[in-house]
A and B are shown apart, each in its own frame.
Chain A
């Protein structure tokens, strides 16, 4: 079965503390003392967490978050013995 993964980054210069990401996707994002975004998981594994990461991204009014899907096939150390 295909296992989705993604890399999550935030541009802290673009984050203005709306707090949408960690409110809607608390397993992927968290907050600093001022309420600005911190990434809890830089790489998320599994469709559910990838979906959460994307919800954080698409609800950011500043477009400060980037979620890059990782193509599993290029990462495989050993190909499936199918």
Chain B
């Protein structure tokens, strides 16, 4: 294993290491090579799992804790307290998921379809006449944010604040050292917690409060007991983070992949019903959140025979599991007709299956559908390159596209 890649697995808690080795257009071949080299890797600090079956099994074991157990007193993304539900486990985690799952179930998300579709088109309206766009700034970054404000029942005018926070916490924590980046995240995190607190104050004093998730959380109870303000803040905090940058990242990866492949673009444009399969296949391949941390509470022997020590930190690579040839024939090939068997782990699995997976799918499907409908053919701007970043969510931070502008008939002109 190349030293710079081995380092990623050796020091899983320093996101700094994690930033560059996979900031490439096609890390999947590297992921495959790692998997061929060894089924897992054990270092002083942790065990890293690469195979689909091992990764999936670990996440279903009640003796394995999620990020909360993995990180101990540290919390994800600059939070001062445990993020709910990602950093809680066991019965407490179940209690929160019972409350939150219905709020994020597909049938609830479908109610957003119309408004997300019109928001998507409003974004496209802003740049379609220009014939070129830097898609990350003007589309990928904005769509999840606007949709999220709508979902939460927060004013659309707070968009700028959320964009700053999203960038500060997940996107690009500034600083040269891990400590500096952490301090940057913590500052953004504290501002976010304060904002949510004030929004909740506002809802409580408003005689006619706006409908949305925040209000649902305020009015919700668990076994007859209303939630404490801190609990609502911790949940909202995670929702804000999870609802923004991760979906932007996925959207940028999907469009960037297609931007280099006119034939696939044409196939999708000719049949928009392909979109959900395209989204699933590219989620599998690109794995926007390529890894997660877990911790074993007791010694565990997996079905494959791998033994995980009691207390050991476990690093799980969804991105690598997603190219396991045991589960995905010709795993690095993109096949939109993998529908018969695409059980990818890009939304994690087991107890901590991504709560927002159905929201993400809705936004990605609508985003790609509307983009393709309005702009059936597009390409990376000649002389420029898409810029990939690996951490903390894999994304394309610079995605310069050109496309034919609308001709006199209101359709794409020459080149389509």
Binding partners A and B: yes
Task: Tell whether B98 is near chain A: CB-to-CB under 8 Å.
Answer: yes
How many residues in B have their beta carbons less than 8 Å from beta carbons of A? 25
- Whole-angstrom distance between the alpha carbons of A41 and B342 in the complex? 23
Which of B33-41, B101-109, B137-145, B206-214 binds A? B101-109
Tell which of B104, B107, B347, B351 touches A18, judged by Cβ atoms closer than 8 Å.
Answer: B347
Is B353 in the interface zone, CB < 8 Å from A?
A: yes
Contacts of B104 in A (CB 8 A): 35
In this complex, which of B60, B104, B344 has the most chain A Cβ atoms within 10 angstroms of its Cβ? Answer: B60
- CB closest chain-A residue, reference B347: A18
Cβ-defined contact, B60 with A62, below 8 A: yes
Which of chain A's residues have a CB closer than 8 A to the CB of B347?
Answer: 18
User: Are A16 and B349 within 8 A (Cβ)?
Assistant: yes
In angstroms, Cα B342 to Cα A20, docked, is 9
Interface membership of B42, Cβ < 8 A:
no
Stretch at the interface among A1-9, A53-61, A69-77: A53-61
Given A18-B347, A24-B339, A55-B340, decide whether A62 and B105 contact each other with a Cβ distance below 8 A. no
Q: Mark A1-36, 1 if CB is under 8 A from B, else 0.
A: 000000000000010111110111000000101111
Inter-subunit contact B344/A61 (CB<8 Å): yes
Which residue from chain A places its CB closest to the CB of B277 in the assembled complex? Answer: A24
On whether the beta carbons of B101 and A36 are closer than 8 Å, the reply is: yes
A63 and B56 CA atoms in complex are apart in Å by 10
Inter-chain contact B349/A61, CB cutoff 8 Å? yes
List residues of chain A with CB within 8 A of the CB of B107: 31, 35
Tell which of A22, A33, A36, A59 touches B341, judged by Cβ atoms closer than 8 Å: A59
Whether a CB of chain A sits under 8 angstroms from the CB of B350 is yes
- In the complex, whether B343 has a CB less than 8 A from a CB of chain A is yes
Residue contact A19 to B339, C-beta cutoff 8 Å? no
Cα–Cα, bound, A49→B90 (Å)? 37
Residues on B with C-beta less than 8 A from A20 are 343
Within 8 A of A (CB), among B347-368: 347, 349-351, 353, 357-358
**Is B296 interfacial (CB 8 A cutoff)?**
no
CA distance in complex: A17, B358 (Å): 10
Shortest distance in angstroms between B90's beta carbon and chain A's nearest beta carbon? 15
Are A16 and B339 within 8 A (Cβ)? no
- A33 lies within 8 A of B102 (CB): yes
**Contact in complex: B343, A61 (CB < 8 Å):** yes
User: 12 A-B pairs, CB-CB below 8 angstroms?
Assistant: A16-B353, A18-B353, A20-B343, A33-B105, A35-B105, A35-B106, A36-B101, A54-B340, A55-B340, A59-B341, A62-B350, A63-B343
Closest 8 CB pairs of A and B: A35-B105, A34-B101, A58-B341, A16-B353, A61-B343, A61-B349, A33-B102, A34-B102
